């Protein structure tokens, strides 16, 4: 019997979406090994015909799905189909070992059940392919490799704007109270360094006026924080970056504002009489004690010094949208990263998208979320989110060893199939950031594990990002320890991670199939060995990931055994045998012929 509980398909979702103006992608989940074949029954070129009795009859065509992925629990079947007249009703014929079923929107039926043969309204429906509803991410994002910079800790390019309490560049451990003097001029001075590495996008954490080091407590959205420089210096940075083919992304903090912002201070002073009272979510007054200390339980907040903004208030909406448009129009930024994006209402983000896209049609809109984010990724809000759900299995298997390769593959597949292919091309893939421990700390300084993690990162569809200093082996635990000063003194020493990342970035540019063009296919999935392919048409790059403790001779899959391949990492032609001796956490990237079986 077919395991009905495992069967899953949802119309108008990541299981059924318009990939292009003429093409729909369908996906169906089933229990692992339960089905030998799956067929889609959909509208034939002529959907109606008259029986001899003169009754209406629905004529269907049959299209075979391919098994796209197979995990420890499930098989995932896939079909790319061009509907007749841009719309279709459809169902699935499931072929099991001793049973054949029809699976339609109403549920499961025998294959020859006459009650559903012509009942088109009981089937799944894709009502119509509207070009305006197709998710499209800015083209440049698909090939952008971002570099995240925490400005105060990157490079001091103008000592005249240093805060009075600036510490020495080698001051440790890093805190959120001691400024180091990094600024916009310093970033401009190091643009050629980033070009050498292979970076073509810079993501800056907040640069607007704020009392903290991190600047997530904004007090003026229209001013550059004096410790970072001036608007003229920002304009220079952007112009110089653009001249080198580098995009610039700024960080927008619209969920909350700093408690020292004039708007919140006005409410503190005037209470319900403040014209800004409804800009916030006030539970009760007063907002401070008689000593002037904030009472955070009296107002909604991200933390005590970050009162939450009321984005349902039209005045707040107009204020924030004007800010977003100003920096795009005046400084020609290329992207907005939206802080705590999932705590702001969807209505606001839809207005935000319309506003900034009117100024710059290809601006990239990135939301900070830490979970499944389909609700924000329907083409009307964000182009992508910070892809932490895909980060997790990479770190848990390779860096930390908390899971095995089988669980890694299952979590990886679930993460990529959570979204449509269109959305995956706009996702922001990263392994660490200012909010997490650094990768080198997670691997306990193991360079080989660290390199292998980056190898997988740069095999992902969508854009990628590394945290400043990672290429120079900067380590650090959770915030604030992850925000150390850029170790520029290491430039004159061997730089194994710099060399590795530079190589991966070169390969990602040379072989588009490992960036935006390719699909994923898993060849081998074992506890300490995973072989997967990034493929496009008849060619693929095969990645061999091995986390065992000792060197091992493995049997190669038929797709590689006895084949001529190009080792693209070491740039050498190889004639593979039936087996291959591999080292723990080694780098194996073979370009060869590919065919889905």
Separation CA 382–CA 350 (nearest Å): 9
Instruction: Answer yes or no: 339 catalytic.
Output: yes
In angstroms, the first-to-last Cα distance of the chain is 25
Is 304 strand, coil or helix? coil
344 within 8 A of 254, measured Cβ to Cβ: yes
The DSSP symbol for 288 reads B
Sign of the torsion angle spanned by Cα atoms 460, 466, 471, 475: negative
Residues 6+ apart with CB under 8 A from 431: 391, 394, 395, 439, 453, 454, 457, 466, 467
CA atoms within 13 A on the CB side of 15: 16
Residue with tokens 């990479």: 394
What's the farthest any 2 CA atoms get from each other in the chain? Answer: 92
Angle between helices 346-359 and 314-331 (to 10 degrees): 30
Q: Which two structure tokens, joined as six digits, stand for 443?
A: 């691997």
The DSSP symbol for 48 reads E
Is 586 strand, coil or helix? coil
Chain-centroid distance, C-alpha 580: 34
Is 104 strand, coil or helix? strand
Separation CA 482–CA 36 (nearest Å): 49
Report the candidate in 544, 547, 549, 550 with the shortest Cα–Cα distance to residue 579. 544
Q: Which two structure tokens, joined as six digits, stand for 42?
A: 């959909």
Catalytic, out of 339, 383, 471, 523: 339
Q: What is the DSSP string of 172-214?
A: SS--SS------HHHHHHTHHHHHHHT--EEEEPP-EE-SSSS
Separation CA 532–CA 481 (nearest Å): 35
Catalytic, out of 68, 152, 334, 368: 368
Rounded to 5°, angle at Cα 207 from 206 and 213: 75
Separation CA 184–CA 591 (nearest Å): 41
Residue 472, strand partner residues = none
Chain-centroid distance, C-alpha 313: 30
Q: What is the DSSP string of 427-487?
A: -EEES--TTS--HHHHTTT-HHHHHHHHHHHTTSSSEEEEETTGGGT----STTGGGPPP-
Instruction: Answer yes or no: 368 catalytic.
Output: yes
The DSSP symbol for 517 reads S
The DSSP symbol for 395 reads I
Report the candidate in 389, 470, 472 with the shortest Cα–Cα distance to residue 424. 389
Alpha helix (H) ranges present in 486-548?
496-510
Is 298 strand, coil or helix? helix
Q: What is the DSSP string of 9-73?
A: --SSBTTEEE-SSS-EEEEEEEETT-EEEEEEEEEEEEEEEE-TT--EEEEEEEEE-EEEEE-SS
Active site residues: 339, 368
């Amino acid at each position: 019997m077919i395991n009905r509980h495992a069967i899953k398909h949802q119309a108008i979702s990541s299981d059924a979406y318009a990939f292009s103006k003429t093409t729909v992608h369908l996906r169906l989940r089933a229990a692992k090994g339960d089905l030998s074949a799956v067929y889609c029954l959909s509208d034939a070129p002529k959907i109606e015909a008259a029986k001899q009795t003169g009754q209406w009859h629905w004529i269907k065509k049959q299209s075979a799905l391919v098994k796209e992925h197979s995990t420890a629990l499930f098989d995932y079947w896939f079909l790319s189909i061009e509907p007749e007249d841009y719309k279709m009703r459809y169902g699935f014929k499931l072929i099991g070992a001793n049973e054949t079923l029809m699976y339609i929107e109403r549920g499961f039926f025998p294959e020859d059940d006459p009650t559903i043969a012509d009942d088109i309204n009981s089937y799944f429906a894709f009502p119509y392919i509207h070009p305006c509803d197709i998710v499209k991410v800015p083209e440049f994002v698909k090939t952008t490799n971002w570099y995240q910079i925490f400005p105060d800790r990157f490079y001091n390019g103008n000592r005249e704007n240093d805060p009075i309490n600036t510490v020495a560049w080698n001051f440790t451990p890093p805190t959120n109270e001691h400024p180091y003097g990094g600024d916009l001029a310093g970033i401009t001075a190091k643009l050629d360094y980033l070009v050498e590495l292979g970076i073509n996008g810079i993501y800056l954490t907040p640069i607007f006026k704020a009392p903290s080091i991190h600047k997530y407590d904004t007090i003026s959205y229209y001013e550059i924080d004096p410790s970072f420089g001036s608007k003229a210096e920002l304009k220079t940075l952007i112009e110089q970056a653009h001249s080198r083919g580098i995009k610039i992304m700024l960080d927008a903090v619209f969920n909350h504002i700093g408690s020292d912002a004039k708007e919140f201070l006005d409410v503190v002073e005037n209470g319900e009489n403040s014209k800004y009272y409804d800009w916030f979510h006030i539970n009760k007054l007063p907002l401070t004690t008689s000593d002037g200390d904030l009472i955070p339980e009296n107002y909604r907040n991200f933390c005590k010094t970050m009162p939450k903004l009321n984005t349902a208030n039209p005045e707040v909406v107009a204020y924030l949208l004007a800010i977003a448009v100003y920096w795009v129009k005046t400084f020609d930024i290329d992207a907005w990263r939206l802080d705590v994006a999932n705590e702001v209402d969807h209505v606001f983000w839809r207005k935000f998208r319309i506003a900034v896209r009117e100024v710059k049609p290809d601006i990239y809109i990135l939301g900070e979320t830490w979970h499944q984010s389909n609700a924000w990724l329907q083409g009307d809000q964000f182009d992508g989110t910070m892809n932490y759900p895909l980060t997790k299995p990479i770190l848990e298997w390779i860096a930390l060893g908390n899971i095995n390769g089988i669980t890694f593959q299952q979590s990886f597949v679930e993460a990529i199939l959570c979204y449509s292919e269109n959305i995956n091309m706009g996702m922001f893939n990263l392994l660490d950031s200012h909010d997490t421990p650094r990768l080198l700390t997670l691997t306990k300084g193991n360079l080989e594990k660290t390199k292998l993690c980056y190898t997988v990162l740069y095999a992902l569809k969508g854009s990628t990002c590394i945290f400043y200093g990672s290429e120079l082996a900067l380590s650090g635990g959770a915030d604030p320890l992850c925000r150390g000063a850029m170790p520029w003194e290491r430039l004159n020493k061997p730089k194994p991670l710099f060399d590795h990342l530079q190589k991966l970035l070169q390969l990602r540019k040379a072989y588009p199939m490992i960036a935006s063009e390719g699909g994923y296919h898993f060849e081998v999935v074992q506890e300490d060995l995973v072989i997967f392919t990034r493929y496009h048409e008849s060619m693929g790059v095969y990645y061999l990931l091995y986390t065992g403790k000792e060197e091992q001779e493995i049997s190669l899959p038929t797709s590689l055994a006895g084949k001529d391949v190009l080792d693209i990492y070491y740039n050498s032609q190889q004639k593979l045998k039936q087996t291959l001796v591999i080292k723990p956490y080694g780098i194996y990237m073979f370009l060869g012929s590919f065919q889905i079986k």
